Amino acid sequence: MQIEIEYFALLREEAGCASETIELQQPTPAAVYACLNERHAFSLPAARLRVAVNDRFTEWNTQLDDGDRVVFIPPVAGG
Amino acid sequence: MQIEIEYFALLREEAGCASETIELQQPTPAAVYACLNERHAFSLPAARLRVAVNDRFTEWNTQLDDGDRVVFIPPVAGG
Amino acid sequence: MFTLQSGPVDTVNARQQLIHPGCGGYCSFEGWVRDHHEGRSVDKLIYEAYAPLALREGQTVIDEAVQRFEIEAARCVHRTGELAVGELAVWVGVAAAHRDAAFAASRYIIDEIKTRVPIWKNEFYTDGTSAWVNCAACAATADDNQSRRAV
Amino acid sequence: MFTLQSGPVDTVNARQQLIHPGCGGYCSFEGWVRDHHEGRSVDKLIYEAYAPLALREGQTVIDEAVQRFEIEAARCVHRTGELAVGELAVWVGVAAAHRDAAFAASRYIIDEIKTRVPIWKNEFYTDGTSAWVNCAACAATADDNQSRRAV
């Protein structure tokens, strides 16, 4: 299945791009991040992140559908 | 001794004037209020008031000097 | 700085006086004239101040806030005279490095101003009566008629 | 209502939206860009938002505040993009019948916005370096160089 990833803030800088697409069998956000972490060697472990799918906060073990948009959310710092 | 009294809010309305002068021997704010209360029958007992002399909060048993300005302060309601 | 003012308060300018590059948090409180009070419908009100002592005591409150909390600056402006429903009666502004202190100092200032500064509120109701707020309850123990009189 | 805005916030207009004749208390909080953070001298900063989720989560915070506290209305505006020292980064306004609820809801909103809404702050220091606030501390456990990089 094709999963779209959008990056923000530190992860965007570390990925070197604002978005990308990866292909995975039976993907979950956890599996997606593990795969991308191999590619980009992110400085933030998954334990420090939250994850959103299609613009809603989601659990790491959710089964993703083809075409889902995933965003990994570093610690926020609004205000 | 001559003591000047300035009235505000409910006391001003009940006294029917904004200020007056009374003559008392060895006056204290407590004695002044007792005297004026006979005259005006204020609805507020002294226990509900604070007192200021020459624009500073003062104790009820302070010895007053000739020409002192006394203000009896009903419960405040700013804000 | 604590001030009394007989006309409308320019809150934009008042806030401007507090801006400081070391401040990350600003908390402001405004008291507005409500259209009701303890179940009665309010038409307008008149604030009366014992000005020399109100200014002194108001400034003491501001100074205490600066001492007690980690704030950069604080101001308060209180209206006097006649106010319509919706008008601003009191404005408090506090600037601080962090928001904890800004909130705490703002709250301290409005609470102390309301209980210590010699300013009185005469509420006029839509039924044509009026009352000096706070005095009404106190006086009620002595004579209820004195505090709720016809206008 | 929670909104994101790339240009300066008109706080006068934002406040105006909250005025209601039943309200006697109004509390506002503003976050300003400080010239320092944790001992470092700040030059400017850039806020980046994951807009669709930030808007949804910000609105949820406002809705929670209206549920939890006795308030009439609440709004929050958060800046995005580049901000200079002294600029307003976030504005919160709450109107209520009484001040207790106005203060409590204001505090609740800014606290929750800061911890839940996906907005990030990239701080640029006068020494030419920069850091994503909060991420720096987390990433430090893995690799300190990644989080404090040259601009």
Q: What is the pLDDT of residues A1-36, one digit of tens each?
A: 999 999 999 999 999 999 999 999 999 999 999 999
Residues from chain A that touch D62, judged by Cβ atoms under 8 A, are: none
> Which among D65, D14, D105, D19 is positioned nearest to C30, based on CA atoms?
D19
Cβ contact D97–C34 (<8 Å): yes
Q: Please tell me whether residue C31 adopts helix, strand or coil conformation.
A: strand
Q: Please tell me whether residue D17 adopts helix, strand or coil conformation.
A: coil
Residues from chain B that touch C138, judged by Cβ atoms under 8 A, are: 44, 48, 74-75
Residues from chain A that touch D28, judged by Cβ atoms under 8 A, are: none
- C137 pLDDT exceeds 70? no
| Paired tokens of B77 | 């309601």
CA angle C113, C114, C120 (to 5 degrees): 110
Cβ contact C114–B79 (<8 Å): yes
Give percent of chain A with pLDDT exceeding 70. 100
Kind plus residue range of the DSSP H or E element containing B58: strand B56-58
Q: How many CA atoms lie within 13 A of C89 on its CB side?
A: 30
Q: Which residue ranges of chain B lie beneath pLDDT 50?
A: none
Is CATH 3.40.50.300 the right assignment for the domain spanning A2-73? no
Q: Which of C24, C30, C106 faces D32 most closely, judged by CB atoms?
A: C24
Residue C134's pLDDT is: 86
Stretch C13-26: mean pLDDT: 94
Residue D38's pLDDT is: 87
Handedness of CA A21, A26, A32, A35 (dihedral sign): negative
- C151 pLDDT exceeds 90? no
ipTM for the complex shown? 0.91
Cβ contact D138–A57 (<8 Å): no
Counted across chains C and D, CB pairs separated by less than 8 A come out at: 81
Stretch C12-36: mean pLDDT: 95
**Contact present, C30 and C11 (Cβ < 8 Å):** yes
User: What region, left, alpha or beta, does residue D86 occupy, with left being phi > 0 and alpha being psi -120 to 50 degrees?
Assistant: left
Domain that includes residue C13, residue range: 2-150
**Separation of alpha carbons B7 and C71, rounded Å:** 37
- C49 pLDDT exceeds 80? yes
Cβ contact C99–D110 (<8 Å): yes
Counting CB pairs under 8 A, whether chains D and A reach 3 or more, is yes
Shortest Cα distance, chain A CAs vs residue D55, angstroms: 10
Q: Which of D48, D57, D117 faces A8 most closely, judged by CB atoms?
A: D48
Residues from chain D that touch A76, judged by Cβ atoms under 8 A, are: 114-120, 134
**Separation of alpha carbons A76 and A67, rounded Å:** 26
Shortest Cα distance, chain B CAs vs residue C48, angstroms: 7
**Separation of alpha carbons C56 and C95, rounded Å:** 22
B38 touches chain C (CB under 8 A): no
Cβ-in-10-Å burial (0-12, 13-18, 19+) of C151 comes to exposed
In the stretch 5-34 of chain B, residues with CB closer than 8 A to chain C read 6, 8-10, 12, 14
**Contact present, D72 and D19 (Cβ < 8 Å):** no
**Within 10 Å of residue A1's Cβ, how many Cβ atoms?**
14
Residue C139's pLDDT is: 61
Q: Please tell me whether residue D10 adopts helix, strand or coil conformation.
A: coil
Q: Please tell me whether residue C62 adopts helix, strand or coil conformation.
A: helix
Shortest Cα distance, chain C CAs vs residue D105, angstroms: 12
Residue D83 sits in a domain whose CATH number is: 3.90.1170.40
Kind plus residue range of the DSSP H or E element containing A34: helix A29-40
**Separation of alpha carbons D88 and C145, rounded Å:** 52
| Paired tokens of D139 | 């990433």
In the stretch 1-30 of chain C, residues with CB closer than 8 A to chain B read none
Cβ contact C50–B43 (<8 Å): no
As a dihedral over the C-alpha atoms of residue B32, residue B37, residue B43, residue B48, rounded to 10 degrees, the angle is 20
Domains identified in chain C, total number: 1
Kind plus residue range of the DSSP H or E element containing D125: strand D119-125
**Separation of alpha carbons C123 and C43, rounded Å:** 8
pLDDT along chain D (151 residues), means of 10: 97 95 96 92 96 98 98 98 96 97 98 97 96 75 44 35
**Contact present, C146 and C67 (Cβ < 8 Å):** no
Indicate the pLDDT class of residue C138, thresholds 50, 70 and 90: low
- C141 pLDDT exceeds 80? no
Residues from chain B that touch C147, judged by Cβ atoms under 8 A, are: 10, 43
Stretch A56-78: mean pLDDT: 97
**Separation of alpha carbons B26 and B34, rounded Å:** 14
Q: Is the pTM of this model over 0.90?
A: yes
